Amino acid sequence: MKEEQVTKAMLRWLMDNCWKIVCFDFPQSGTGRILHPKGNNESKNKKAIIPDIVAVKDGVCIFVENKDRFYYPDYEKQNSLIVGNEYSDSITTLLKGYEVNEIYYGIGLPTSKHKKGSIDAASLVDFIICVDDDFNIRPVYNPKAIAFA
């Protein structure tokens, strides 16, 4: 399963569950919104982050990084958004006009790729959502009990 398929399945699932899609990005599409770190000239993309999906529902916002396989640096990247505030200005600008009380950061990946590495890295993110071969979606790690459906 390709990353684009994971993203499309996640978008469909989120919309079916009444999430408002703020923005999304397919691999190499250039359609996403760029988050710049504080103090970075926005004309430069050094250290910029482009979330795969940002969605809002009932005061909750989720940032999802989708992959076609386990990739530890993406868990670290999501964790840096959880524990740091380097991108807070860009996130505030992105979410302007949306009522957001909580923000969560997680990973979307094929069910077949949620194995030892992903399980071991789970504590770095707020959630992990898996897409099976039939494009069914299931949160497999959700310790904060985010109401996805």
Which is it for strands 60-66 and 102-110: parallel, antiparallel or unpaired? parallel
Question: Which residue ranges form the domains of the chain, and what is each CATH number?
Answer: 3-141 (3.40.1350)
pLDDT at residue 42 in the model: 57
Q: How far is CA 101 from CA 11, 56, 92, 95, 98, in A?
A: 22, 10, 12, 11, 10
pLDDT in tens, 25-80: 987 777 788 898 886 655 556 688 999 999 999 999 999 999 999 999 999 999 99
pLDDT at 36: 86
- Identify the three-state secondary structure at position 88: helix
Residue 132: helix, strand or coil by DSSP? coil
Question: Among residues 27, 45, 136, which one has the least CA distance to residue 90?
Answer: 45
The token duo for 66 is 């989708």
pLDDT at 146: 97
Phi and psi at 57, nearest 5°, equal: -155, 130
pLDDT for 26 equals 80
At residue 94, the pLDDT reads 95
Sign of the CA dihedral with 33 first, then 34, 37, and 42 last: negative
pLDDT of residue 29: 72
Q: Would you call 70 helix, strand, or coil by DSSP?
A: coil
Mean per-residue pLDDT of the chain: 92
Query: Starting at the edge strand that comes first in sequence, how are the strands of the sheet with 137-141 ordered?
Result: 20-24, 53-57, 60-66, 102-110, 127-131, 137-141
- pTM (two decimals): 0.92
